[in-house]
């Protein structure tokens, strides 16, 4: 897998991505308050184009709030952030056209067929019928779902659904894809396959911003950040963090940081 | 915004509707079943009956009878004339409920113990109240006659009755407009509320809100297919009413269909608002049932005449969309009147539609604050 990733990196560099300052995402002191509660407290980080960025944190640490601000579902109370070079406060429309989003809940329609789901999202993102047909075929070939194109999505096994949902989130070739706990409830083999899809997307230059609860998955990321109590407690490559905290695994680092949490239910 | 995105969204909505065969069948059959059920069932106290009096030769006797009506405390004289032409416009504009027409020779015949003729015309577009009006009228006349007889005068009052708009007193004629109102609110408000809250519950709405699709487009996309379905329902109800119960249709079909679309928009917007305020399909369904079905059935005058409601309750009926729609539908179907008379009700519905649609659009903006 490593060699694949090196290849991916090389290709990513060939694809120029114009973000304001070369970053797919950059956040400076991004803050979100709900009344007196500070859900996200002055977080600062950036994500390079083509990077697979792991966004970790215990439940209640502020991950979801942070993602919502980045995708334009929530306004920041303070700080600034750019996604694909666009300001999250003022340029939401441009951001929406340049990002893909897969929520932690399954985002396809179970009562529509595979093909109808693809057509829906293709249509929403303004693809032409030709583009949709072409990309549908390519996607189904890659996923091995060609013979299931007219099956109802609800009848597919969970693992397939997740892979399909991810591919659909990439249908309009966004510059950045946000994946909010994409592999929840999926078996280890499928998780592995899912990550291969993430690398393949990164290889085509798509930046992946992933939240996860699985620490083995964190090891797959180029860089990770760990949120504790609304702040970023650690940021760096998995190797760097393990060295810094003298830990054997990211899991170890995570547990140490999460234990220091004062608020929220550290899972 | 991009019309292709909207089209893709509407196609998706159609798929949802068409794929859920059971629900679709129920929705399509509903008007038929309800027309038949209500047509064979259901039947109240009325005060403040507005009476028009046509008295070509005013006399002590005719005035006396009128004063009996007034002293019964149920009747109020809204117009008096010597010319019977006043009745028709008063009925059409719903300014009078009954008309008392004296024969020119009423008083002289009464004195000479000849048959004194009297015509009672009643607006029976609502047959329940129509019958009630008639019964009260008869009671007043016969008590007057009884008093005169008690004075050992031989008197003979011959009353002739005309049930206007609904000569055979078919309650089905009355129920079809109400039923259309009920079916429309059910399909529109309930189904949109369920369908939108399902997207909320399952998380697909979040994905839509993150897409370039505008919240307004999501609303329009949700509403359009149901508008079509509701239209089919109106047609079914009308055809069933005409084919099974021979309900008359005196006015313009296209006007009624246009008014139905207006009323449907009000209901759809209500559905969207309900979905915006609830967090689960179940809550949305209950809220839609309680918030739209009940008032639209009970406070609209569909089953219980507004005329017989306690006065404190009447203002509440003004906010019930079906109240206005039923007046419109009954007016068009049973009285054959047009916009010239129904403009006020139409205006109220239009105002409601605009207000609620605007509120619905606002409520679905992603929560930015």
Task: Let me know if residue B368 belongs to a domain.
Answer: no
**Which phi and psi (to 5°) does residue A170 adopt?**
-100, 0
Q: Which residue of A has its CA nearest to B206?
A: A103
pLDDT band (50, 70, 90) for residue A104: confident
Supply the pLDDT for residue B38: 66
A231: left (phi over 0), alpha (psi -120 to 50) or beta: beta
Domain boundary among B95, B130, B164: B164
Give the number of other CB atoms < 10 A from CB of residue B223: 25
Contact status of A150 with chain B (Cβ, < 8 Å): no
Q: What is the pLDDT along chain B (369 residues), one digit of tens a residue?
A: 577 888 888 888 888 888 888 778 877 887 777 777 666 555 455 678 899 999 998 888 888 888 988 888 888 899 898 888 888 888 888 888 899 999 998 888 888 888 888 899 888 777 777 888 888 888 888 888 888 888 867 778 888 888 777 666 566 677 778 888 888 888 888 888 888 888 888 888 888 888 888 888 888 888 899 999 888 988 888 888 888 777 888 889 899 999 999 999 999 999 998 888 887 888 888 888 888 878 888 888 877 778 777 888 888 888 899 999 999 998 998 888 888 889 999 999 999 999 998 888 888 765 543
Contact status of A5 with chain B (Cβ, < 8 Å): no
Tokens of A44: 């600062």
Output A182 or B127, whichever has higher pLDDT: A182
Mean pLDDT computed over A25-43: 93
Supply the pLDDT for residue A265: 44
Domain shared by B204 and B324, yes or no = yes
Q: Which residues of chain B have a CB within 8 Å of the CB of A107?
A: 203-204, 206-207
Domain shared by B69 and B37, yes or no = no
Domain shared by B20 and B134, yes or no = no
With H, G, I as helix, E, B as strand and everything else as coil, classify residue B77. strand
Domain shared by B90 and B237, yes or no = no
Supply the pLDDT for residue A11: 42
Beta bridge partners of B81: B54
Contact status of A151 with chain B (Cβ, < 8 Å): no
* Nearest-10 Cα torsion for A47, A50, A56, A62: 50
Q: How many residues make up chain B in this entry?
A: 369
**What is the rounded distance in angstroms from the CA atom of residue B183 to the CA atom of residue B177?**
10
Task: Let me know if residue B369 belongs to a domain.
Answer: no
Task: Let me know if residue B356 belongs to a domain.
Answer: yes
Domain shared by B137 and B221, yes or no = no
Q: Do A102 and B15 touch (CB under 8 A)?
A: no
Supply the pLDDT for residue A264: 45
Query: To the nearest 5 percent, what fractions of chain A are helix, strand and coil?
Result: 40, 25, 35
- Residue of A72, A123, A155 to mutate, testing the B interface (most B Cβ within 10 Å of its Cβ): A123
Contact status of B310 with chain A (Cβ, < 8 Å): no
Q: Which of B8, B20, B210 sits opposite A120 (nearest CB)?
A: B8
Q: How far apart are the first and last CA of chain B?
A: 24
Contact B319, B300 (CB under 8 A): no
Q: Which residues of chain B have a CB within 8 Å of the CB of A74?
A: 366-368
Supply the pLDDT for residue A254: 86
Domain shared by B157 and B93, yes or no = yes
- Residue of B1, B6, B8, B203 to mutate, testing the A interface (most A Cβ within 10 Å of its Cβ): B8
* Nearest-10 Cα torsion for B66, B70, B75, B78: 70
Domain shared by B160 and B230, yes or no = no
Give the number of other CB atoms < 10 A from CB of residue B159: 16
CA quadruple B207, B213, B214, B216: dihedral sign: negative
Contact status of B21 with chain A (Cβ, < 8 Å): no
Determine the structural domain holding residue B148 and report its residue range: 49-164
Give the number of other CB atoms < 10 A from CB of residue B263: 28
Beta bridge partners of A260: none
Tokens of B158: 């011959």
Domain shared by B258 and B339, yes or no = yes
Instruction: Tell me the pLDDT tens digit for each residue of A42-51.
Output: 999 999 999 9
Domain shared by B89 and B8, yes or no = no
pLDDT band (50, 70, 90) for residue A57: confident
Domain shared by B107 and B203, yes or no = no
Range A2-106+174-259 classified under CATH 3.40.50.300: yes
With H, G, I as helix, E, B as strand and everything else as coil, classify residue A103. coil
With H, G, I as helix, E, B as strand and everything else as coil, classify residue B276. helix
Q: How far apart are the first and last CA of chain A?
A: 30
Task: Let me know if residue B353 belongs to a domain.
Answer: yes
**What is the rounded distance in angstroms from the CA atom of residue A82 to the CA atom of residue A175?**
13
Q: Which residues of chain A have a CB within 8 Å of the CB of B367?
A: 73-74
Q: How many residues make up chain A in this entry?
A: 267
Mean pLDDT computed over A111-124: 93
Contact A201, A177 (CB under 8 A): yes
Supply the pLDDT for residue A71: 92
**Which phi and psi (to 5°) does residue B342 adopt?**
-95, 15
Q: Return the minimum-mean-pLDDT range out of A6-20, A221-235, B46-60, B70-84.
A: A6-20
Tokens of A37: 């509660």
Q: Do B369 and A106 touch (CB under 8 A)?
A: no
Domain shared by B218 and B293, yes or no = yes
Tokens of B96: 């009078």
The candidate with the shortest Cα–Cα distance to B9, out of A101, A131, A117, A102, is: A117
Contact status of A73 with chain B (Cβ, < 8 Å): yes
Cβ neighbors of A6 (< 8 A, separation 6 or more) are: none
Mean confidence (pLDDT) of chain A: 85
Q: What angle do CA A80, A82, A86 make, to 5 degrees?
A: 125
Q: Do A109 and B208 touch (CB under 8 A)?
A: no
Q: Which of B9, B203, B366 sits opposite A107 (nearest CB)?
A: B203
Cβ neighbors of A119 (< 8 A, separation 6 or more) are: A132, A136, B8, B11
Tokens of A70: 């980045």
**What is the rounded distance in angstroms from the CA atom of residue A86 to the CA atom of residue A25?**
9
Give the number of other CB atoms < 10 A from CB of residue A2: 6
Q: How deeply is B273 buried, as exposed, middle or buried, from its count of CB atoms within 10 A (0-12, 13-18, 19+)?
A: buried
Domain boundary among B125, B148, B164: B164
Supply the pLDDT for residue B1: 55
Cβ neighbors of A130 (< 8 A, separation 6 or more) are: none
Contact status of B340 with chain A (Cβ, < 8 Å): no
The structural domain count of chain B equals: 2
Task: Let me know if residue B238 belongs to a domain.
Answer: yes
CA distance B328 to chain A (A): 39
CA distances from B229 to B21, B132, B184, B204, B226 (A): 13, 38, 9, 23, 5
Contact status of B142 with chain A (Cβ, < 8 Å): no
Domain shared by B154 and B176, yes or no = no
Beta bridge partners of B50: B76
**What is the rounded distance in angstroms from the CA atom of residue A47 to the CA atom of residue B169?**
77
Q: Which residue of B has its CA nearest to A93?
A: B212
Mean pLDDT computed over A183-208: 89
With H, G, I as helix, E, B as strand and everything else as coil, classify residue A108. coil
Contact B98, B123 (CB under 8 A): yes
Q: Do B2 and A126 touch (CB under 8 A)?
A: yes
Q: Do B204 and A108 touch (CB under 8 A)?
A: yes
Domain ranges of chain A: 2-106+174-259
Domain boundary among B140, B164, B188: B164
């Amino acid at each position: 897998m490593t060699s694949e990733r090196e290849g991916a990196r090389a290709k990513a560099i060939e694809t120029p991505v114009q973000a304001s300052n070369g970053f797919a995402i950059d956040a400076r002191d991004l803050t979100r308050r709900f009344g007196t509660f500070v859900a996200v407290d002055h977080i600062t980080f950036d994500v390079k184009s083509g990077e697979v960025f792991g966004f970790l944190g215990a439940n209640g640490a502020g991950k979801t709030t942070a993602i919502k601000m980045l995708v334009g579902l929530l306004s920041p109370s303070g700080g600034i952030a750019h996604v694909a070079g666009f300001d999250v406060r003022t340029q939401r429309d441009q951001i929406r056209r340049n990002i893909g989003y897969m929520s932690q809940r399954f985002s396809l329609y179970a009562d529509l067929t595979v093909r109808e789901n693809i057509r829906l999202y293709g249509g929403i993102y303004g693809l032409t019928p030709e583009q949709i047909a072409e990309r549908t075929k390519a996607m189904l070939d890659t996923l091995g779902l060609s013979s299931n194109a007219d099956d109802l999505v609800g009848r597919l096994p969970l693992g397939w659904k997740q892979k399909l949902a991810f591919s659909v989130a990439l249908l309009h070739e966004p510059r950045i894809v946000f994946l909010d706990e994409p592999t929840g409830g999926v078996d280890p083999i499928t998780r592995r396959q899912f990550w291969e899809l993430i690398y393949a997307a990164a290889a085509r230059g798509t930046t992946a911003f992933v939240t996860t609860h699985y620490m083995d998955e964190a090891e797959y990321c180029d860089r990770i950040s760990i949120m504790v109590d609304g702040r970023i407690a650690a940021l760096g490559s998995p190797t760097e963090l393990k060295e810094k905290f003298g830990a054997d695994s990211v899991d170890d680092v995570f547990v140490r940081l999460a234990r220091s949490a004062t608020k929220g239910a550290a899972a | 915004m991009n019309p292709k995105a909207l089209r893709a969204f509407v196609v998706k909505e159609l798929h949802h509707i068409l794929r859920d065969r059971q629900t679709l069948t129920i929705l399509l059959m509903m008007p038929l079943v309800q027309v038949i059920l209500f047509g064979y069932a259901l039947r109240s106290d009325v005060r403040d009956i507005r009476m028009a009096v046509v008295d070509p030769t005013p006399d002590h006797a005719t005035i006396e009878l009128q004063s009996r009506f007034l002293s019964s405390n149920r009747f109020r004289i809204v117009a008096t004339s010597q010319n019977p032409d006043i009745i028709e416009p008063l009925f059409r504009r719903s300014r009078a409920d009954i008309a008392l027409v004296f024969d020119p020779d009423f008083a002289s015949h009464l004195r000479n113990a000849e048959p004194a003729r009297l015509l009672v015309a009643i607006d029976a577009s609502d047959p329940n109240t129509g019958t009630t009006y008639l019964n009260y009228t008869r009671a007043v006349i016969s008590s007057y006659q009884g008093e005169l007889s008690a004075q050992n005068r031989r008197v003979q009052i011959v009353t002739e009755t005309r049930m206007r708009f609904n000569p055979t007193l078919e309650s089905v004629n009355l129920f079809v407009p109400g039923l259309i109102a009920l079916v429309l609110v059910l399909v529109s408000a309930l189904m949109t509320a369920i369908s939108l809250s399902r997207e909320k519950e399952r998380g697909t709405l979040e994905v839509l809100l993150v897409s370039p699709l505008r919240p307004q487009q999501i609303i329009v996309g949700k509403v359009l297919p149901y508008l079509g379905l509701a239209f089919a329902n109106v047609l079914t109800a009308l055809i069933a009413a005409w084919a099974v119960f021979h309900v008359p249709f005196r006015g313009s079909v296209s006007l009624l269909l246009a008014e139905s679309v207006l009323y449907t928009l009000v209901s759809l917007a209500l559905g969207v608002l309900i979905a915006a305020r609830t967090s689960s399909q179940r809550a949305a369904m209950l809220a839609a049932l309680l918030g739209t079905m009940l008032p639209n059935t009970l406070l609209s005058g569909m089953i219980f005449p507004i005329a017989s409601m306690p006065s404190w309750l009447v203002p509440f009926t003004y906010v019930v969309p079906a109240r206005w729609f039923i007046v419109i539908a009954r007016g068009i179907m049973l009285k054959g009147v047009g916009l010239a008379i129904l403009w006020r009700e139409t205006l109220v519905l239009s105002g409601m539609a605009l207000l609620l649609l605007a509120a619905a659009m606002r409520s679905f903006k992603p929560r930015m604050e």
